[in-house]
Amino acid sequence: MDPGNLETAAELAAALDRLVRGRGLSLRDLAREARGRQAALPPSTVSDVLRGRSIPAPQTLATLLAVCGVTAAELPLWLAARERAAGPGSARAPGAVRVHTTRGRLLGVHASIQGESAVGELPAYVSRDLDERLRAALAAPGLVVLVGASSVGKTRSAFEAVRAVLPQWWLLHPADARAVHALAESPPPRTVIWLDELQRYLDDLRAGSVNALISAGTVLIGTLWPDEYAIRTTPRTPGVPDPHAESRRLLDLAHVVDVPDTFSPAELGRAEALAADQRIRIALETPDAGFTQVLAAGPELVRRWEQARPYGRAVLTAAIDARRVGCHTPLTRELLEATAPGYLRGPDQAAAPPDWLDQALGYATAPLHGATSALVPVPAGMGRTAGWTVADYLYQHARRVRRTTPLPDPVWQALVEQHHPADTARLADNAVRRGRWAEAAALGSPAAATPAAQRLAILTGGHICAEEMRERAAIDDAAYLRAARLANFADVGELRRLAEAGDQAAANWLVRVLVRENRTDEAMELLRRAADAGSAPAARRLAEMLAANGQITEAAAVLRERADAGSVGAAHQLVGLLRRCGLIADLAAEMAAGTAGAAVAYVQAQREACGPVESTAAVAYVQAQREACGPAESTVTVPPPAGGGVPAGPAGSVSPRPR
């Protein structure tokens, strides 16, 4: 064993214990052999040392080593190990591992294609031209950032560099920016902080925390895509909000190493020397696709998406578009199930087998050539999946291809309803930039609360969201962002405290968190109180939850009350609910009462249930409405009436409208 690799008290104790056991000596044997030497070896003292309960004094360690046959030439190495174990630098932060024991795959190195003669989970490392500069940057405390496109070898180069320069240091891979801030409060010594995919941290990471870590001797290393780096380092425009000011300050601290998309002739020459590895030979024989990209199965990922059957392609496209508009947290099964149908033609939807989603997910998550998959599972602990994310190479390609392709309306609606709170601000920003004012308002964007945005939302069909805009306009940005962050960490107690103090943003987010945690009764009670206080959005959300729970009568009553109070959004939602449930008699009652949208919905429901002949009375009613009130109430082209009156229709009623 090499005592030069020992750093902590636990490692020293384990090494000494192996040494004693290897010599076959008992505690009594050690005490006997130590008689007449510089230090005695009482069994109790040695027992504490071997179990890591105490660090031996230098004389005790020297005697113990001599009894075990360690030569005088090796003694200085053991004494140096003892000093390291006893010093403040031996402390290890929770979760830290030795750099030299880490596995590249666990740190984000892309899985490689596999060949018949492949040995090991990663191919041999082909030295890059940038290695010397990178390793020199790691020789001192600081922040090092490798900037390059997906699958160009950023993470592998970083992994090999820290193993070469700092093999005996500790390595920590923090889950998020909050974990980095916690480390900055008490910086661990001799530690590398691994920040692969740095963009996941930058929105919440503070330059002050990074400065504190660097000042304490820490090395931070991260990877970043070129477009992310450009966005966050572009100088601000005077008079324009600067959302990336903190990221720019942080990246100003970094030693940036650019990673090219392609191998240089010298790098290809070094790869040729390693071509006995079939994986490297395959990459060399496919020059047009890029050496590192082939190793990571990049071109195959693109083909996997472009040549997929309808359901697999729909799920992959839904995942790509969700990430494109701001969903950076793992994509859940529920979200993909809600968004994928938006990418399917009507016949494909109608012909979908019961297990269409399972088949599509199986296709999307199948490893390609033993490497990565198009959808990559994100773990939530042993044997559990939090969701999926799109493979980086596929995402970068698809983002270019679909840059100007709008998301279908049902997909936007599903994203608004199903997204994770941590993605809300990004989704809202993307909705504003794409002119999706109704969705932006539903997501709480301040930009969507302006009168112009409200009018545009109404003109484009956002009746419901226009009311939400008016309510959200009273919520300032700081309150909204504070509540969103609390929701991200599921801090129900603090959200409840703020909501009870009158914080509307906290109340809205509290409901979302409770629903996410399946505490629907509590969420509905909060919504009832808000609806009773006059909140139209709360009433509509309550109605949605009641309807989803099968309480159609209660849902209709809630919406009817708000519709009678003048809420156009509630009226449209009520009509939609009645039509979906086939409650034609109730639609007839709403039509007679003049509820917005009821006449058109009634005609459509009659036609779906009975065919055009039996719905002529309803058509006549709509025609009469047009003659009396103009065409605003109906936008449907109808044939000449063949009858009169307003039939009740074949379906029953949940609750008759008061006359």
Whose structure tokens read 């049902």?
410
Closest listed residue to residue 208, CA positions, set 241, 243, 252, 258: 252
- For residue 497, what pLDDT band results from cuts at 50, 70 and 90? confident
For 586, 594, 611, the CA distances from 653, given in Å and listed in that order, are 5, 18, 20
Mean pLDDT of the region 222-246: 84
For 26, 39, 41, 84, 562, the CA distances from 62, given in Å and listed in that order, are 18, 8, 11, 16, 85
Helix, strand or coil, per DSSP, at residue 25 = coil
Mean pLDDT of the region 329-346: 94
Say if residue 214's pLDDT is above 70.
Answer: yes
- For residue 384, what pLDDT band results from cuts at 50, 70 and 90? confident
Query: What pairing do the DSSP bridges indicate for beta strands 97-98 and 170-172?
Result: antiparallel
Mean pLDDT of the region 546-552: 86
Could you write out the three-class secondary structure of 504-530? HHHHHHHHHHHHHCCCHHHHHHHHHHH
The pLDDT, as a whole number, for residue 626 is 47
**Could you give the CA distance from residue 403 to residue 505 in angstroms, rounded to a whole number?**
33
For 49, 189, 354, the CA distances from 639, given in Å and listed in that order, are 96, 81, 38
Q: Which two tokens stand for residue 73?
A: 């030439």
Closest listed residue to residue 290, CA positions, set 302, 306, 307: 302
Is 622 in contact with 633 (CB distance < 8 Å)? Answer: yes
The string of pLDDT tens digits covering residues 133-151 is 999 999 999 999 999 988 7
Query: What pairing do the DSSP bridges indicate for beta strands 219-224 and 142-147?
Result: parallel
The string of pLDDT tens digits covering residues 69-102 is 999 888 888 988 888 787 655 567 788 888 988 8
Closest listed residue to residue 153, CA positions, set 274, 284, 260, 279: 260
Specify the range with the lowest mean pLDDT, choosing from 412-426, 427-441, 462-476.
Answer: 462-476
The string of pLDDT tens digits covering residues 595-645 is 777 777 777 777 766 655 444 545 554 554 444 444 443 333 333 333 344
Question: Is the alpha carbon torsion for 165, 168, 170, 173 positive or negative?
Answer: positive
Mean pLDDT of the region 444-459: 49
- For residue 119, what pLDDT band results from cuts at 50, 70 and 90? low
Higher confidence at residue 112 or residue 430? Answer: 430
The pLDDT, as a whole number, for residue 122 is 78
The pLDDT, as a whole number, for residue 354 is 93
Helix, strand or coil, per DSSP, at residue 112 = coil
DSSP run (H or E) holding 379: strand 375-379
Q: Which amino acid is at 374?
A: A
The string of pLDDT tens digits covering residues 506-530 is 888 888 888 888 888 888 998 888 8
Q: pTM of the prediction?
A: 0.48
Mean pLDDT of the region 342-352: 92
Higher confidence at residue 38 or residue 42? Answer: 42
Closest listed residue to residue 436, CA positions, set 468, 414, 460: 460
The pLDDT, as a whole number, for residue 592 is 66
**Could you give the CA distance from residue 170 to residue 164 in angstroms, rounded to a whole number?**
13
Is 157 in contact with 146 (CB distance < 8 Å)? Answer: yes
- For residue 572, what pLDDT band results from cuts at 50, 70 and 90? confident
Contacts of the segment 305-310: beta carbons below 8 A, 24+ positions apart: 305/374, 305/394, 305/398, 308/363, 309/363, 310/344, 310/345, 310/348
Whose structure tokens read 């508009």?
325
The pLDDT, as a whole number, for residue 287 is 65
Say if residue 647's pLDDT is above 70.
Answer: no
Query: What pairing do the DSSP bridges indicate for beta strands 142-147 and 375-379?
Result: unpaired
Mean pLDDT of the region 402-413: 89
Mean pLDDT of the region 381-398: 85
Say if residue 456's pLDDT is above 60.
Answer: no
Is 657 in contact with 578 (CB distance < 8 Å)? Answer: no
Neighbours of 429 (CB within 10 A): 17
Mean pLDDT of the region 345-371: 88
Specify the range with the lowest mean pLDDT, choosing from 347-356, 412-421, 618-627.
Answer: 618-627
Mean pLDDT, the chain, integer: 80
The pLDDT, as a whole number, for residue 635 is 38
Helix, strand or coil, per DSSP, at residue 161 = helix
Say if residue 239's pLDDT is above 80.
Answer: no
Question: Is the alpha carbon torsion for 250, 255, 258, 263 positive or negative?
Answer: negative
Strand-pair partners of 255: 144
Say if residue 649's pLDDT is above 50.
Answer: no
Say if residue 372's pLDDT is above 80.
Answer: no
The share of the chain scoring above pLDDT 70, in percent, equals 81
